[in-house]
A and B are shown apart, each in its own frame.
Chain A
């Protein structure tokens, strides 16, 4: 017999006798493996549960802001020009302008954007003409659509919620206007154009009436000062827009210029304009700031992110208790 056939016959004999044993061993292996995998399957599910991401946190309650939006209707008009629609006005629109009840872009031409075409030409020397025409347009078409009328530049950043809060303390039938108050040229002061200023309904009526009657004229190109003179002529009072801690809300410059404690000398000329005592450093600016000026698009979105998005979770604002107490007395 050859080795091959002998070994095959040996295998066959042992198989026949030990087949049940092989099955038994195979069974042990199979049983072990099956239980092993089923146990691990049951436990890994638990681990995954802890690690899986769940829905994002959206626990902001905007009921107070919504209520104010209904009670204090704000119309915002943006002073712009055809060459700035793409580079500036577009970003104003994407950032804050939609938070106004109504927003209008005032330019010298019609466009898809949507702009209101005013009967003016372009140029720095035309700014006051544009302003007069814009207010006349608002008076003609939107007098009853809003309570307050804000003028802003296409490089002004505005927080409409904070403006409404400020305005909620005033009556729109009173002749009043608010902004960043400057001292020179006019006894009662006037409001900085770049920081934005807001007129009550009565103030708007008087401004338009003044130009209709000839009491107010286009005597200067300097838009903010000239408007301030007309306000004085028509007995419209300049309001104090500072918050309850006497911190400014409207700002004629970007926040870094106002926060800068370290080099005040640079801004000496500007300080001379201030109607109220100038403050540099953190007390320059209210927590509920209304505006900043000279804001280019990147900074526009950055301020938008700071105001409405980025926040320290769980932080109880420093003004919290004082502010709540103050609110109760108002």
Chain B
């Protein structure tokens, strides 16, 4: 009995040592590899006050300098008024904002892609953005019917490493495909864009012109191409799980809240750190500019860990 027991024990020790050696060699990661591993950070939340305070002042200013956003704004002459409004309002808060148009319009400046197909146009715009990124490492893609608060986008991605693949927004599901909704804005890190641009060369997995009988929307085509390059969609939300990317207007969300939470309409409605709203008319977007960047109660002061200054030469923020 004893000899048998000792055999077992000897075996155990040997097995344990073998496991340790393997994991130390680095080619083997302990644990049960599961399909769920890629969804580990499916819900992306910004840093909390406590986490921010842990960063030193040097780290903080370094990080603030590095979080720079290149806005890719997809326009057409048909929506000239929205184009002009985006140009006059929120896009001024991007570190660089470039308008990409289907065709040129005399009144406003844009990169003329000379392309009517929406997906092909988006591909060309993203390729152009990648090639002209300079030092910018975060890309925000939207149409001018969306209103974005870029400071809150920076806050969301503050310490995320853009050399990791990030694809963030409001996530929807279509069958097996999880994609970021176009209407509420799409965020890509430099690495995600790099992989996407690489995938553009693969005509079978990521075709420029859809060969299907029905048209697949650009947002889904984008998600598919990204998925093939190992980039997966993540939902942007605040610490309480409230959506940061919205395809509705503030008014619509308030109306919904009046029905669902009549005793706590504003508290239950929308995030204080919301990044996008969509569907507003140009006049409403001007009011939003005032409401977000100017209107405030005297005597309420915030001690934020970051500093963003107003853009030069602007009179509505």
Chain A residues with CB under 8 Å of chain B are: 19-21, 23-37, 39-40, 43-44, 47, 51, 53-68, 94-95, 159, 161-162, 164-165, 255-256, 259-260, 281-283, 285, 287-289, 297-299, 301-318
Contact = CB atoms under 8 A, between A and B. Distances in A.
A304 B299 contact: no
A36 B31 contact: yes
B31 A44 contact: yes
A53 B45 contact: yes
A320 B152 CA distance: 20
Given A61-B302, A302-B251, A314 B307 contact: yes
Contacts of A24: 7-8, 10-11
B296 A307 contact: yes
Contact of A28 (B18, B93, B294, B295): B18
Given A310-B270, A313-B155, A61 B298 contact: no
A20 B302 contact: no
Closest 5 CB pairs of A and B: A27-B11, A65-B299, A31-B15, A40-B31, A306-B291
Contacts of A64: 298-301
Q: Is the interface of A mostly helix, strand, loop or mixed?
A: helix
A259 B287 CA distance: 7
Contacts of A287: 294-296
Contacts of B306: 313-314
Contact of A54 (B4, B51, B150, B294): B51
A315 B41 contact: no
Contacts of B50: 54-55
Contacts of B14: 27-28, 31
Interface in B226-257: 238-241, 250-251, 254-255, 257
Contacts of B154: 313
A26 B8 contact: yes
B295 A306 contact: yes
Interface string B1-23: 00111011111111111111001
B297 A36 contact: no
B304 interface: yes
A115 B42 CA distance: 51
Interface in B79-104: 93
A301 B293 contact: no
A99 B54 CA distance: 35
A51 B115 CA distance: 41
Interface residues on B, range: 35 or more
Contacts of B238: 56
Contact of B239 (A55, A165, A305): A55
B175 to A, nearest CB: 27
Nearest to B309: A316
Given A161-B299, A307-B296, 20 more contacts: A30-B11, A31-B17, A32-B19, A53-B45, A55-B50, A57-B239, A67-B299, A161-B297, A164-B298, A165-B298, A297-B258, A301-B254, A301-B269, A302-B291, A304-B266, A306-B291, A307-B297, A312-B151, A314-B308, A317-B294
Nearest to A284: B290
Contacts of B107: none
A73 to B, nearest CB: 15
Contacts of A299: 251
B273 interface: yes
A314 B304 contact: yes
Nearest to A299: B251
A25 B31 CA distance: 21
A256 B286 contact: yes
A313 B8 CA distance: 61
B305 interface: yes
B176 interface: no
Interface in B24-63: 29-32, 40-41, 45, 48-51
B149 to A, nearest CB: 5
Interface string B256-295: 0110000101100111111000000001101111111111
B310 A317 contact: yes
Nearest to A42: B30
Given A35-B16, A64-B301, A316 B10 contact: no
Given A28-B12, A35-B19, A60-B300, A310 B251 contact: no
Contacts of B131: none
Contact of B299 (A29, A53, A66, A283): A66
Contacts of B283: 256, 259-260
B116 interface: no
Contacts of B29: 40
B313 to A, nearest CB: 11
Given A23-B7, A259-B287, A288-B296, A31 B16 contact: yes
A47 B197 CA distance: 30
